[in-house]
Amino acid sequence: MPRERATPAATGKPLSAPQKALQKLGLVRDIDLALHLPLRYEDETRIVKLADAREGDSVQIEGEVTACEVAYRPRRQLLVTVNDGSDSCVLRFFNFYPSQQKALAVGARIRARGELRGGFLGWTMMHPHTRVAGGELPTALTPVYPTVAGLPQPYLRKAVIGGLRHAELADTLPPEVAATLQLKPLWTLKQALEFLHHPTPDVSLAQLEDHSHPAWQRLKAEELLAQQLSQLQARREREHLRAPQLHARGAGSLHERLLAALPFQLTGAQRRVCEEIAQDLTQAKPMHRLLQGDVGSGKTVVAALSAAICIDAGWQCALMAPTEILAEQHFRKLITWLEPLGVRVAWLTGSQKKKERSAMLELIARGAAGLVVGTHAVIQEQVQFKNLALAIIDEQHRFGVAQRLALRSKTNGEDLEPHMLMMTATPIPRTLAMSYYADLDVSTIDELPPGRSPIVTKVVSEQRRAEVIERIRGQLEQGRQVYWVCPLIEESEALDLTNATETHAELSAALPGVMVGLLHSRMPVAEKKAVMERFVSGQMGVLVSTTVIEVGVDVPNATLMVIEHAERFGLSQLHQLRGRVGRGAAASACVLLYSTGDAPRLGEVARARLKAMAETNDGFEIARRDLELRGPGEFLGARQSGAALLRFADLATDSHLLAWARAAAPVMLDRHPAQAERHVARWLGSRTDYLKA
């Protein structure tokens, strides 16, 4: 069996430019090189007669040079005419060396490879590859690899060949598992890779290009299997961890008293997810559950009821939200629900005064605070819990893996892990959930509280801005409130601000006697709070805001949302924003104001987004279309999800392979654990830690 070679990086010697480029591409181990697959191929296996060729073909010709001259028309260029017996072709070079000119002298027999163009003067090729004629033709297609500047194809090709030769490529799929793949021919991994790097010319190029060839299928299946294996492993490891068992739902319990005190009845969906969570909390292993529910579906009360179980059992619960305003909104709601029932709720945030903060830290460390609500401040080192048993993360996708891990590792004195509940309003389409979140249990609130009237969404051109302002006036006259959101332009905070301040001035002038507020990302926290308070209390009629995130508030009296430059927002973002209205019984509307700028019309994708918004209010449908428009990489955000993104497999077309991998993973782990381990190491290398968070 070949041994892994010491890579250049490991020898400690300084790296050459192409070696550095290899490293930049992540091509470090032999296996990485072996798994670096061609983008496309060039056919050098055949010589084509010019008489048989068509314009646009990439071909290789062989013939005799009949003319070679340097011309100035207008740039200096070398023009070489080659005749292959059937026709002739002019090779045109703008940059050339004297040595090249010599090799292409009249009478020389050469081979040239490039794209054929027809023209007034007959066939031409721009900058073809040339070499001396004769010599054996290769028997395989020539691979063209994805590369970066400073890493020429010939160097990369050689490196890949070396990787292929030295990589340890013994199959990790035991025959019983490989057989279930039903691929014909059923090659080994090594055969599949050798084929993909150097396919024989009789192959269907279409099958190679759309990755439906069995060799590609084999690779994609292996990749998906690695992903499923590592997640299954993580799940099983977690099953060995221990967590406090929390059963506190009987008569007279905090949970029951909170239910009785709520001003509303839970929806069926809320009751179901509460039951799922409560069941997990009774287990001696930590819960790892994602609660997904559309904006406004009522996730907070589910969090509160779960916290109640935990606190009643004598343990602490922490709730972390991504922004101060969101966290504070939770804090207020949770205090009104829980403090009358005798629960101390602590508050932690970055902007807190030192004195208040130490008082809070002390309450938490002593265990006097049953519930701790806050921002990232909750996971800071100084925060010591007495006995944390449940960690709840709102809008989990806004947190990185490290932050989720930090919360999980907050000690609780007894070497027990806390239960984790992650909440999100961005539902994850089923195929993605199966693939990237396979180790999570998922609960879904698929029903909105009763009495909400559906939001009517209108897509309106910027040219009708005046009508929109009229509409705002109408809402205000009925005692309603209005949000006006301006886009967040990340590259230019100055521009971002101009847009919002101008709109603020415009609306203030157009609506005399109405309090119009402004909220933007650069404002000090205290000022933001003051503005929010006035809007929440109803004094302020219109809130102009750029801080998309911090509009995450609950003001049921707000019935109209205008989104300016809606074409610049992502689909999920638009949907989240829209969810801020339609929270009461009154009819609500969302106006998507778009501008085409200098263009005659909106771009295709922007149009598709706005259309989707107008057509549906269903968060799952929105998520599905968003995935379609953006692809999983962007949808998940590699950093946030921490999931190793798939390189080869495409969840949209490879769901059958995903299904196979899901079934194969437990078989591998149970019956072939050594192979499973090798498989994961081969495919995921050092990335596996990430998958465990």
Binding site for ligand ADP (CB under 6 A): 264-267, 270, 293, 295-301, 425, 449, 554, 583
CB nearer to ligand ADP: give 294 or 564.
Answer: 294
Beta carbon of residue 425, minimum distance to ligand ADP (angstroms, whole number): 5
Largest CA distance in the chain: 102
Give CA–CA dist 417/355, Å, rounded. Answer: 30
Paired with 345 in beta bridges are 371
Beta carbon of residue 626, minimum distance to ligand ADP (angstroms, whole number): 18
Beta carbon of residue 301, minimum distance to ligand ADP (angstroms, whole number): 5
Give CA–CA dist 66/367, Å, rounded. Answer: 92
Beta carbon of residue 583, minimum distance to ligand ADP (angstroms, whole number): 6
CB nearer to ligand ADP: give 298 or 370.
Answer: 298
CB nearer to ligand ADP: give 80 or 392.
Answer: 392
Distances (CA, A) of 63 to 50, 89, 130, 138: 10, 10, 11, 18
Q: Residue 341 gets which letter from DSSP?
A: G
Beta carbon of residue 374, minimum distance to ligand ADP (angstroms, whole number): 17
The answer to whether residues 394 and 305 touch, using CB atoms and an 8 Å cutoff, is no
CB nearer to ligand ADP: give 88 or 292.
Answer: 292
Residues 6+ away with beta carbon under 8 Å from 430:
none
Q: Are strands 142-144 and 40-42 parallel, antiparallel or unpaired?
A: antiparallel
CB nearer to ligand ADP: give 305 or 612.
Answer: 305
CB nearer to ligand ADP: give 228 or 292.
Answer: 292
Beta carbon of residue 443, minimum distance to ligand ADP (angstroms, whole number): 12
The secondary structure of 569-634 as a DSSP string is: S-HHHHHHHHTTS--SSS-EEEEEEE--TTSSS--HHHHHHHHHHHH---HHHHHHHHHHHHHHHH
Beta carbon of residue 319, minimum distance to ligand ADP (angstroms, whole number): 12
The answer to whether residues 138 and 168 touch, using CB atoms and an 8 Å cutoff, is no
Beta carbon of residue 305, minimum distance to ligand ADP (angstroms, whole number): 11
Give CA–CA dist 517/508, Å, rounded. Answer: 9
Task: Report the 10 Å Cβ neighbour count for 510.
Answer: 16
Distances (CA, A) of 409 to 4, 73, 379, 439, 631: 36, 71, 9, 18, 33
The answer to whether residues 471 and 511 touch, using CB atoms and an 8 Å cutoff, is no
Q: Are strands 109-115 and 129-132 parallel, antiparallel or unpaired?
A: antiparallel
CB nearer to ligand ADP: give 138 or 268.
Answer: 268
The residue at minimum Cβ distance from ligand ADP is 298
Give CA–CA dist 329/319, Å, rounded. Answer: 12
Token match 């990489």: residue? 633
CB nearer to ligand ADP: give 554 or 628.
Answer: 554
Beta carbon of residue 340, minimum distance to ligand ADP (angstroms, whole number): 16
CB nearer to ligand ADP: give 104 or 623.
Answer: 623
CB nearer to ligand ADP: give 169 or 555.
Answer: 555
Beta carbon of residue 429, minimum distance to ligand ADP (angstroms, whole number): 19
